[in-house]
Structure 1
Amino acid sequence: MNKSFEKMFAVLDLFSMDRTTLSISEIQKETDFPKSTIFRILNTMEAFDFIEQNKENHRYALGFKFFQLGSIYQGNLDFREVALPIMKKIVEDTSETVELNILDKADRICVEKVDSPLDIRNFVRIGDRKSALRGASGKVLVAFLSEEKFETTLASLKSEECFDEAKFRKEMKRIQKQGYDFTKGERVPGSFAISCPIINHKEEMIASITIAGPIQRLTEERETELVTILVEGSKEICQRLGYFGHPYNLENNGLL
């Protein structure tokens, strides 16, 4: 690779969500490049709007071109393609089935899955449609909707038999607070499900990711392990989609 490009990428790699601006001295300390080289790199990128300098404090930040390119990249992302390798890793780590669901009106629909390698496992088909009223996958999808969409979905759920609106709203607040849901035998007797939201760069909930399997494999220690693995996996998917927040409240639930 061209040495000039290597140095340019080394400088760009110093920017992060925690460090959005850099000074010349900070770049020199991190890279050990001569100041003349750093000036040349920054001036070139600034000329093409990839870097911007604050004239008051002389610190450098990423320029508009990166926002433009990032928007193009985000537009080309298929969240299923982003999620699939992480889902496969979760299955490797847990030996349980992992599925990806979206919300359609008041139903959750499976759009991707990776099966457990074990003989006794949770069974789901891509395209399966179930009410979002029961089960972790559907309830997480409802809990993280915008207020307007939540009320619309709630109106559809009211037609379901034995629907208790006050109880459901309370449950949604609990899920919002802890950032995930864990159910046992709620939709399928003898099975469990843990689900987390998938949020994109627009801070919109677009899907839920779920670990599901037979209750007989659960222990208190394994429950904690599964929740932690799923939360970390869902956070990685969100970050790859451009969302760097984390609605998960593991500390308050004794998991961290």
Structure 2
Amino acid sequence: MNAQQAPQGGDGTIGKAVAVLDLVAGFRRPVRFSELRAQSDYPKATLYRLVQTLTSQGLLTHDSERQTYAPGLRLMRLAHAAWQQASLAPVARPHLDRLAAEICETVHLAQLDAGQVLYVDKRVPEQPVEMFSQAGKVGPAHCTGVGKAMLAHLDAPALDKAVALQSFYRFTPHTITDAAGLRAELAEIRAQGFAFDREEHEPGIICIAVPILTGRGRLLGALSVTSVTARKSLADLETLAPALREAAARIARDTEAWRFPDPGAAREGEKDV
């Protein structure tokens, strides 16, 4: 998310404070108050009060010499706790290691966040390729393999909401740029069980992705293998679909046993008591 895309909070003071944190993070560098003011819809006094409160709570840090603000150490601690407790990364780590060693290509693990792709882990081969994705980065869902794999397995209300959040920005000549085109491809993805990125986000970068689903079909995330057109074709990547599916299934099994029990299963268990 860039500074211009930072959302404005609609949930009282907490929503406003979160919006300011998003705004600061969106600059991806220490930022002056005047820059925040230029990008925020809040009155100057309101914005200043929010920034000061966040700073006093350790969620922002202030460099008095440069007069800039940046995410604080407390926020980093919270982010680390979220990564350990809410992301797939810890339980998926051995499966990513195994898959990456087998195929010698870049492997991504992602989850869906507010209709966008959150990359939570990544493995790179001995000869890595420079690309956008990094653990912790947020990317578009409408033009990435992991994004489309996840969107394709949302229920109807969640999909409607996620599609409405897409920018449909044209990154390359291959990018899907409208909801109708995206929905048509998502139907194909549901039928075949995997998604492609056909140089839709970055020129020369292609991938195959599969969803990570619970036994009841609940979406947990997505797994992908990414390469470059100079080294692989989409047909080459399609041969990796069985290995991807198996890795995704192992991650799902371990994840459910670890921290993600299915609420439906719990309710059924309660009925049996």
| Fold match by TM threshold 0.5 | yes
Q: What per-residue deviation string (whole Å, max 9, x for no partner) do you get for residues 151-171 of structure 1? A: 1111222x5447322211111
Partner of 1:135: 144
1:218 matched to 2:232? The reply is yes
Q: Deviations over 1:51-93 (max 9, x none)?
A: xxxxxxxxxxxxxxxxxxxxxxxxx896322211111111111
Task: Give the superposed CA RMSD.
Answer: 2.4
Measure, in 2, the Cα distance between the counterparts of 1:135 and 1:154: 14
Aligned length: 167
Q: 1:140 to 1:106 in 2, by over 3 A?
A: same
Deviation at 1:98, TM superposition (A): 0.8
SS of equivalent to 1:217: coil
Q: 2:106 aligns with which of 74, 85, 97?
A: 97
Secondary structure class of the residue paired with 1:241: helix
Q: Using a 3 Å threshold, how does the CA distance of structure 1 residues 224 and 152 change in structure 2: closer, same or farther?
A: closer
CA distance in 2 between counterparts of 1:99 and 1:126 reads 9
Equivalent pairs: percent with the same residue? 23
Question: TM-score scaled by structure 2?
Answer: 0.55
* Kept after mapping to 2: 8 A contact 1:99/1:210: yes
Moved more, 125-134 or 78-87: 78-87
- Checking the alignment, whether the CA contact within 8 Å between 2:213 and 2:220 is kept in structure 1 is yes
Rounded to whole Å, the distance in 1 between the matches of 2:224 and 2:241 is 10
Measure how far apart 1:110 and its partner are: 0.5
Return the offset for 1:114.
Answer: 1.4
Using the TM superposition, give the Cα deviation of residue 116 of structure 1 relative to its aligned residue in structure 2, in angstroms.
1.6
TM-score by length of 1: 0.58
Instruction: Give me the whole-angstrom Cα distance separating, in 2, the residues matched to 1:101 and 1:77.
Output: 12
Closer, same or farther: CA 224–102 of 1 in aligned 2, 3 Å? closer
1:209 CA drift (Å): 0.8
Unaligned runs of 5+ in 2: 1-84, 171-176, 258-273
Q: Partner residue of 2:119?
A: 110
Larger radius of gyration: 1
Higher relative contact order (CA 8 A, sep 6+): 1
| The one of 246, 251, 257 aligned to 1:237 | 251
Contact 1:201 1:241 in 2 (8 A): no
Paired residue secondary structure (1:168): helix
Alpha-carbon distance in structure 1 between the residues aligned to 2:98 and 2:130: 17
Whether the 8 Å contact between 1:97 and 1:212 is mirrored in structure 2 is yes
